[in-house]
Amino acid sequence: MTTVLVTAVGGIAGYGVVRSLRAARPGVRIVGVDTDPAAVGLRWCDTGVLVPPAADPGFLAALADVIRLTGTDVVIPTHPAEILPLARWDAPPVPIVVDRVELVERAIDKWETFRWLCEHEDPSAIPSAIPDPSPTVPASTSFEELRATLRTPFIVKPRRGSGSQGVRRVSSFEELTEATHPDPGAMIAQRLVGSDDEEYSAALFGDGSGGIAARIVLHRALDRGGWTRRASLASPAGLDAVLERLAAILRPRGPINLQLRREADHWWLLEVNPRISSSTSMRATLGYPEAAMAVDHALHGILPTQPTLRAGTVWRYVEDLVG
């Protein structure tokens, strides 16, 4: 019996992996870990274990103990904070569904992602800068320069973050000061591109050499917290060519998630999530079982073939659990 350890099972991505893996591989034994004893996903796993947060110096040692004691065969991380330490883990005891260190380091930092795209002269790079009202941060840009190059309003958001968290629209010096306090160097300013109703989430399964083994694109609507509340299977004109071009640059190995916006006939890359993202259960409902794909690839080197997808719309809603 294969034992899969899923991290952060109290989060949307974590329990989404658990539930979709249950549907695709009923015989798999699932070990769930989380930092919170009240995490709902722990109740859907065969074994639930508490671990320290990824920022704790003892995180990897604690995870190694859980792997050893539970007979885990493969680990699927789901929390953004875990991806980099796991990618940097020199000798993990079992395969981990995480990409190579260079991709993870550049993907989790939106400024580094922007620089990467610029190195390849890729047109999906959103005009960006490090914002600083003064400026006092090296290589940063003042409000007047930002207004001239990005136009107002422009967007300021954390360089490291996901799910549209911490995004601010800025139209004045005062708003820039507030948005970048207390650490301008941790933020990125970007041109405001497209609109909320032209946002797409693309999940790719990369072959590690720049090719795409499988893919699914969702046209999504966000809630106020930045999470996908509704998603529909989509195949917008021109996007496949953009995804293939980006895959050739990033060369993902396994699952990766790209967030994009369309503006007229132009595609902009909002962010890269080098992991299974929070919409994974929605994708599974539409015929894209990426958790099961990831297990097969990590354990047996099997690249998936493109699945037959089910057209439809998926809604995310709140559910109660009594225990």
Give the pLDDT confidence of 258-306 residue by residue, as tens digits: 999 999 999 999 999 999 999 999 999 999 999 999 999 999 999 999 9
3-state secondary structure 66-127: HHHHHCCCEEECCCHHHHHHHHCCCCCCCCECCCCHHHHHHHCCHHHHHHHHHHCCCCCCCC
Residue 77 lies in a domain: yes
271 and 174 assigned to the same domain = no
174 and 70 assigned to the same domain = no
At residue 226, the pLDDT reads 67
DSSP 26: T
Return d(Cα 147, Cα 141) in angstroms, integer.
Answer: 10
Domain count, the chain: 3
At residue 317, the pLDDT reads 85
**Residue for token pair 């306090």:** 181
At residue 221, the pLDDT reads 87
At residue 318, the pLDDT reads 82
Domain limit, last residue, from 172, 190, 208? 190
At residue 321, the pLDDT reads 79
At residue 222, the pLDDT reads 77
Residue 322 lies in a domain: no
Q: Which domain holds residue 182?
A: 127-190
185 and 224 assigned to the same domain = no
At residue 166, the pLDDT reads 85
Record the pTM. Answer: 0.94
162 and 205 assigned to the same domain = no
Low-confidence ranges of the chain (pLDDT < 50): none
Residue 71 lies in a domain: yes
Note the pLDDT tens digit of each residue in 39-75. Answer: 999 999 999 999 999 999 999 999 999 999 999 999 9
210 and 288 assigned to the same domain = yes
Residue 217 lies in a domain: yes
244 and 153 assigned to the same domain = no
145 and 36 assigned to the same domain = no
Residue 115 lies in a domain: no
Q: At 35, which CATH number?
A: 3.40.50.20
